[in-house]
Amino acid sequence: MSANLLAAALTAAARSWPVFPLRPGDKRPAGHSEEHCPTTGRCVGGHLTPEQRATTDRARIADCWTHKPYNVGLATGPAGLLVIDLDLPKPSDKPPTGQWAGFRDGIEVFAAVCERAGHPVPTGTYTVRTGRGGLHLYFTAPEGKRLRGSAGRLGWKVDTRAWGGYVVAPGSVVHRRPYEVINAVDPISLPTWLSDLLTPPPAPAPLSVTTVRARIGRKDRYVAVAVDGELAKLAAAPDGEHNLTLYKAAYALGRLVAAGAVSEQEVTDKLTDAAHAKGLAASRTASTIRDGIRRSARNALAGAR
């Protein structure tokens, strides 16, 4: 198996798709997490994410995959790819509600998304069947846009992988079920209409830290109302909008962090608890909250100048 996985990693690298090791038989990255980073060795200058560690260097790949039968992670952003992940529900998943009621999986939902938009399903691209029977549709990412992955933005069980994410590459085996290429053509360009749907709305106009401080007045009450309001929005978010709502909440509360009205840790803890209550994955929750708060902080600094 090790030889097959090495071949899979080298095949991806030959397409200029950077790869990194996943745990044997698993989807999770090999190595330590950011939370447990020793800040030594390769991370002496700070934790390196799998995306940052991904490589197309054949010698490094060969050295890595001869040690263990690692599965292959493909860093979609650096590869210039956007992958649409059409998933099947797990036995524990609740059936979809609202506009997706009655749909059986992400494949059906994506077909409906295309039909409603008046476009054919873009099947003529590089396609991988996942271990559970879903599909990964590979597209080249649009130039001039740095799209990030999304969860449910297009619909129930339809996720995307781009900057900040990865896919399990073909040739990998998870729970004894292989990921297999079923259409080996080159990836086509992401259709413009899909790119438009996946482009997040512009960030709210920045408020200066001075303005935020002036609005706080009775700080404790203001903060409590603001936090409770964002938590209520997240609790009421419909299926398919959980991650986007979480990001907006982190961005909004990040203004209070920048103003010194509340600590980043307190905001992170409250949003994390609320996100987990909605069933969001822990790994995605952490990055979404962090990105929202940091972008808010950058805009706060810009507004203060």
- pLDDT tens digit string along 216-265? 555 567 788 888 889 888 888 877 678 888 989 999 999 888 888 888 99
Domain match, 32 and 173 both: yes
Per-residue model confidence (pLDDT) at position 192 = 96
Whether pLDDT at 287 is above 80: yes
Per-residue model confidence (pLDDT) at position 305 = 47
- Mention every residue, 6+ apart, whose C-beta is less than 8 A from residue 85: 106, 130, 134, 135, 136, 158, 159, 160, 161, 167
Query: Is 204 within a domain?
Result: no
Whether pTM exceeds 0.75 = no
Query: Is 293 within a domain?
Result: yes
Q: Which helix (H) or strand (E) holds 229?
A: helix 219-236
Per-residue model confidence (pLDDT) at position 131 = 96
Sign of dihedral through CA atoms 250, 256, 259, 265? negative
Average pLDDT over residues 166-172: 97
**DSSP annotation of 132:** T
| Domain final residue, candidates 198, 232, 261 | 198
Distance CA 34, CA 18 (A): 20
What token pair was written down for 111? 């077909």
Domain match, 22 and 53 both: yes
| Domain final residue, candidates 143, 175, 198 | 198
**DSSP annotation of 24:** T
- Mention every residue, 6+ apart, whose C-beta is less than 8 A from residue 110: 84, 86, 121, 154, 155, 158
3-state secondary structure of 177: strand
Domain match, 20 and 127 both: yes
Domain match, 187 and 237 both: no
| Domain final residue, candidates 198, 233, 264 | 198
Domain match, 41 and 180 both: yes
Whether pLDDT at 271 is above 60: yes
Whether pLDDT at 275 is above 90: no
Domain match, 148 and 222 both: no
Total count of domains within the chain: 2
**DSSP annotation of 125:** S
Say which residue, 305 or 209, is predicted with more confidence. 209
